[in-house]
Chains A and B, each alone.
Chain A
Amino acid sequence: MPAFSNGRGGARATGPTRESFDDELENLALDARAKLRLSDRRGIRESTVESADDAAGIFDLYGTSRESWAPSHGGRVSSDSLQRGVQALERNEGSVHEPSPVDQNHLGKVERVQAMEELVPPSPMSWAGPMEAISNGDRRYSAASNLSQSQGYGAGGRRTTLTPDITVTPELDSSRRNRDLRFRDSTISDSTSTTTANTTPTRLSPSVSRLSPATRHASGVGVGVGGNARAGTSQASFGSSQYPGEEADAFHVRSTYARLEAEGVHGDGWEAGVERTRGGPSSAGKRATVMEPSKGTNLGEDEREFLASLDRYGFVNEPLRNRSETRLALIPVAPLLKIPKLPSTSPLAGRAREEPSMGAGPGGDGPSPKVPDSPRMGEGRGRKKEEERVDKWMKMMSVKKRDQGGNIAQWGWKPEVQNKADPRQIVKRVYKGVPDRWRMAAWWTLAEDASQRNLGKGKGKRSAEDLARDYMSSIDHPSTFDVQIDLDVPRTISGHTLFVTRYGAGQRSLFHVLHCFSMLCETCGYVQGMGPIAATLLCYFDPERVYALLVRLHDDYGMHSIFAPGFPGLLEAFYVQERLMEWLMPDVFQSFSRNMISSSAWGTKWYITLFVNTVPFSQQLRLWDALWLDGRDVVIMTSVAILWAFKDLLAAPTATFESILSLLSSYFVAEDEDKLMRWIRRMLRSPGVREKMDGWRDEWSGLVRDGKTDGVLL
């Protein structure tokens, strides 16, 4: 059997020129569909493929060889899996067209046009890993089920079809792989190799694809149609080829994620995995053999143990998980029972700001907060209440749109809820906590509402479907932030089954979402801190929806100015927060002034990551419930709430620079999260408060405009 590594060493540069590609693209676009179904496939192939050498050369770009399933590496593929592949092929006999890989290529070329017309490509999240194994009824709309339901969005119908029409598949698949066809030479050449690698290429092509781990890794029913195509067009089509000007490191990162997206990763969801990108392409040698995916066989003892230790959100259930480097602080409930009134004038009006104290201050450590029994306390609370709320939410929301597969594509409020005399019902319910199984529907709907409200205020808004398409089409474009994103992906969210495996499904989605988001706004690019936000969303949504929600945060929730260079939105938020402090707790404000505690010293992380890793996940979710409803004011008011709860310690005469900063750098656990949420809600609903906050924003803008911000912030 000829191996496609035979021709190794061919130069990529000998591929078709860009101009000829443009011409060809035009031709193809003209009679795309007709041509696609022409029987004269060989002719097309001969016109585009230069040499087998080209094809093999592509593999060198990846610095790796296809050791896991490529037939050319004889002996690596077990006869068992080969047989399975053949069986799979036989099952589909009759329904499977037999496209040569070249066809897939050409389908790929015209996909762009078609994608715009009709297709939302399938979710790249074809992983139905361990979360599925432990999924329970409680999770109907939460993380676990999202993963398995992910096909439901967009082209879900196609995805779950039992007799996949393979000729369609490449369109679907490649529509997210290549937008700029001028750079598609790799795929072209690559097809030859697949062809030459198989003695009966047209017949074997689908079956080979079935041998790829990705295929069997994909969720059961659909037999991973997307994965098929990806594997079928073989390695070089993972990601586009290297762009001119794209750095080798960045390309290595991008293509590695793309390849593993197709191959899958062994032990996904519970094993640590192998590092392949840190340190650049030279680290590629470390690549481990891709093993048989464990899905479908019995769980190993280690895996079972790991999965059993997960909490309801998918985190490793370890009492002090991830906290040993951080102090824990219990947010006491007592102060939060009192809702202060904003006085009409600042109590500090007319008084000079306190001078900073000189010297090192008292030698002692200053007052310190109570330490919670466990960073996870309170998580078991209210589960019964949550059960009751599930029904209430059922009565509040209804299905607004289904996709062609019958899966729910969009939720909406029931008319009677929206038109109700008391619009505060939604507010109350949201602040009481969205039941976890409703979070996906509620957050999405609230974000769409916010976007609707902002319509006309900015540029024309993109619909969620458009955004999903944007995501798919930008996934194979190079981003200058790829290397930095790759550094941050594995350390973004700790101890969660979705992200625990290097290059596992969650990490890949995280990379792809951040990669695409980094190209959304030239001003913002990628900023450390986006990761934790995206990771939280990935616990609930498909990647393309996560992307859409990030865009909403950016456009409609003021995160653009938070992420922009110089963090202008952050400074504005600090200004508003400091005014609130000054009015509500002047003694704390003065203590900060005396001890030279600048807000940026402790507040940056809160505002940029929206309290991820600052409070327990369950409490972070509660804050986010409110955030989707009330926007950025929630973040400010939450910060103020924490200061309020600790005001006695923070304002104590014995408080020092160190004691204050140590306290505010803590990991916070609310003694009673309901009371915390209530405080935030009551404050934001107090008459005039939000207007005042907007007023302070205007004030700050004025100061910025006049260049008078020096020394204004603490």
Chain B
Amino acid sequence: MSRTTSFKLVLLGESAVGKSSLVLRFVRNEFSDFRINHRVSIGFAGAAFLTQTVNLDDNTAVKFEIWDTAGQERYKSLAPIYFRNSNAAVIVYDITQPPETSFEKAKTWVRELQRQADPGIVIMLVGNKLDLSASRKTSTELGKQFADEEGLLFAEASAKSGEGVEGLFMEIARKLPANPPPTRTPASRQGVRVEGQAEETPSACNC
């Protein structure tokens, strides 16, 4: 009889680095080129919720409850809602972009999590679009080095080819504690507050 433990996982990263594609590959083993398959990005506004279970061994299964968040900066203010109670975070950047863009953004997400998330959160840094490594602009070493410094897991993957996707989630699953930390506590709910809420009053439009 296998034992399933549920963990919350949040995907973060800049717009169009492939967050939804990674999760779609992981959850349904599909890749969708929106231009060919007429598919709408699912984490487009707010966040999409998906689940997937992986078997660690015959007796242990890990169920991921995944929040696929919107990448636009504006939605950053909603992100704490999704990562405050998360056990794991996958922070995605695009290796075909120069490091000062999506990789830099990934770094700021790491800082954000270190500041606001549960201290025990497992963070995986992922360089996506490995299938386009011919036009790579962010080196593996750069990602690896940053991950080592910050104590993160690190992987490069391709949502398109599937390379490395299953593996990175397995690695997270293995790193997670056998028993889920009690994140769903009344104390933590008090902390859930939309960033900037206090200073943002619905004001008259200044346009």
Contacts and interface: CB of A to CB of B under 8 A. Distances in A.
Given A493-B40, A527-B74, A528-B74, A665 B48 contact: yes
A47 B15 CA distance: 47
Most chain-A Cβ atoms within 10 A of its Cβ — which of B15, B44, B72, B203?
B44
A279 B74 CA distance: 21
Contacts of B199: 566
A363 to B, nearest CB: 6
Interface stretch (A70-78, A439-447, A598-606, A644-652): A598-606
A245 interface: no
Contacts of B51: 658, 662
Nearest to B75: A528
Interface in B35-69: 35-42, 44-51, 63, 65, 67
Interface residues on A, range: 35 or more
Contact of B39 (A494, A502, A523, A600): A494
Contacts of B192: 598, 711
A484 interface: yes
Given A356-B189, A566-B195, A602 B202 contact: no
Interface string A555-581: 100001100111111011000000000
Interface stretch (B153-161, B162-170, B179-187): B179-187
A326 interface: yes
B206 to A, nearest CB: 6
B207 A520 contact: yes
Contact of B202 (A273, A527, A701): A701
A359 B182 contact: yes
Contact of A710 (B85, B193, B200, B203): B193
Interface in A540-555: 554-555
A570 to B, nearest CB: 9
Given A358-B185, A605-B44, A662-B51, A495 B38 contact: yes
Contacts, number: 183
Interface string B6-43: 10000000011000000010011010101111111110
Interface stretch (A16-24, A55-63, A317-325): A317-325
A564 B28 CA distance: 35
Contact of A555 (B32, B74, B205): B205
A407 to B, nearest CB: 31
Contacts of A525: 74
A356 B194 contact: no
A200 B39 CA distance: 50
A609 B47 CA distance: 12
B176 interface: no
B100 to A, nearest CB: 13
Contacts of A529: 44-45
Most chain-B Cβ atoms within 10 A of its Cβ — which of A273, A528, A555, A707?
A528
B23 to A, nearest CB: 9
B78 A604 contact: yes
B49 A602 contact: yes
A355 B95 CA distance: 44
A325 B24 contact: yes
Contact of B45 (A321, A322, A356, A605): A605
Interface string A264-298: 00000000110100110000000000000000000
A324 B195 CA distance: 33
Nearest to B38: A495
Contact of A527 (B30, B72, B82, B200): B72
B47 A601 contact: yes
A141 interface: no
Interface in A465-515: 484, 487-488, 490-495, 500, 502
Chain A binding site: helix, strand, loop or mixed by DSSP?
A: loop
Contacts of A272: 35-36
Interface in A306-331: 316, 321-322, 324-326
A705 B180 CA distance: 38
B49 A491 contact: no
Contacts of A532: 40, 44-45
Contacts of B119: none
A708 to B, nearest CB: 10
B113 interface: no
A336 interface: no
B22 to A, nearest CB: 12
A568 B15 contact: no
B189 A608 contact: no
A348 interface: no
B129 to A, nearest CB: 11
Interface in A599-620: 600-605, 608-609, 613
A494 B196 contact: no
Contacts of A521: 205-207
B3 to A, nearest CB: 9
A657 B34 contact: no
A196 B174 CA distance: 70
Nearest to B196: A566
A356 B184 contact: yes
A313 B159 CA distance: 32
B81 interface: yes
A260 interface: no
Sort A-B residue pairs by CB-CB distance and give the 3 closest, nearest first. Answer: A604-B46, A495-B38, A566-B200
Given A322-B38, A324-B30, A490-B35, 13 more contacts: A356-B185, A359-B180, A359-B182, A500-B38, A521-B205, A527-B72, A528-B74, A566-B77, A603-B46, A661-B49, A701-B202, A704-B198, A711-B190
23 contacts: A272-B35, A273-B35, A322-B37, A324-B30, A359-B182, A359-B184, A360-B180, A363-B4, A484-B72, A494-B34, A520-B207, A521-B207, A525-B74, A527-B45, A528-B70, A528-B72, A561-B202, A564-B200, A565-B77, A598-B192, A601-B81, A704-B201, A705-B201
Interface of A: 272-273, 275, 278-279, 316, 321-322, 324-326, 355-360, 363, 458, 484, 487-488, 490-495, 500, 502, 520-525, 527-529, 532, 554-555, 560-561, 564-569, 571-572, 596, 598, 600-605, 608-609, 613, 657-658, 661-662, 664-665, 701, 704-705, 707, 709-711
Interface of B: 4-6, 15-16, 24, 27-28, 30, 32, 34-42, 44-51, 63, 65, 67, 70-72, 74-75, 77-78, 81-82, 85, 96, 180, 182, 184-186, 189-190, 192-207
